[in-house]
Amino acid sequence: MPPSFYTPIWKNHPLMNLMYKINLIYVNNFILVTFSLLNISIIFNLLTKEVKTMLAILGFLMIITFMILIMTKRLPAMIALIVIPVIFALMGGFGKEMGPMALEGIKSVAPTGIMILFAILFFGIMIDAGVFDPIISTILKVVKGDPVKIAIGTAVLALLISLDGDGTTTYMITISAMLPLYKRIGMKPLVLAGIAVSSSGVMNLLPWGGPTARAMTALNLEMSDIFTPVIPSMAGGILFVLFMAYCLGRKERKRIGVLQIDYSTMAMTAATSEEAYLKRPKLILVNYFLTIILLVALIKEVLPTTVLFMLGFAIAITINYPKLSDQKERVANYADNALSVVSMVFAAGIFTGILTGTEMVDAMASSMISYIPDTLGSHFALITAVISAPLTFFMSNDAFYYGVLPLLSKAASVYGIDPAVIGRASLMGQPVHLLSPLVPSTYLLVGMVGEDFGELQRTFLKWACGSTLVMTAVAIILGIIPF
* pLDDT score for 264: 53
Average pLDDT over residues 193-220: 86
Could you tell me if 424 and 238 are in contact, meaning their C-beta atoms sit under 8 angstroms apart? no
> At CA 183, angle to CA 179 and CA 185, rounded to 5?
120
Task: Inform me whether the pLDDT recorded for 408 exceeds 90.
Answer: no
Instruction: Report the mean per-residue pLDDT for the chain.
Output: 78
Task: Inform me whether the pLDDT recorded for 261 exceeds 90.
Answer: no
pLDDT tier, 466 (very low <50, low <70, confident <90, very high otherwise): very high
* pLDDT score for 6: 36
- Distance in angstroms (rounded) separating the CA atoms of residues 81 and 85: 7
* pLDDT score for 196: 93
Q: How far is CA 359 from the centre of its chain?
A: 27
Task: Inform me whether the pLDDT recorded for 370 exceeds 70.
Answer: no
Average pLDDT over residues 459-482: 91
* pLDDT score for 474: 93
pLDDT tier, 374 (very low <50, low <70, confident <90, very high otherwise): low
- Distance in angstroms (rounded) separating the CA atoms of residues 112 and 123: 17
pLDDT per residue as tens digits for the range 415-436: 888 888 999 999 998 999 888 7
pLDDT per residue as tens digits for the range 284-309: 889 989 988 887 887 677 888 789 88
More confident residue, 260 or 83: 83
Global pTM? Answer: 0.62
* pLDDT score for 131: 79
pLDDT tier, 448 (very low <50, low <70, confident <90, very high otherwise): confident
Task: Inform me whether the pLDDT recorded for 16 exceeds 70.
Answer: no
* pLDDT score for 198: 92
pLDDT per residue as tens digits for the range 213-243: 888 888 888 878 888 889 999 999 999 999 9
- Distance in angstroms (rounded) separating the CA atoms of residues 204 and 215: 13
pLDDT tier, 395 (very low <50, low <70, confident <90, very high otherwise): low
* pLDDT score for 333: 85
* pLDDT score for 348: 80
Task: Inform me whether the pLDDT recorded for 280 exceeds 50.
Answer: yes
Q: How far is CA 337 from CA 200, 333, 342, 458, 465, in A?
A: 18, 9, 9, 30, 29
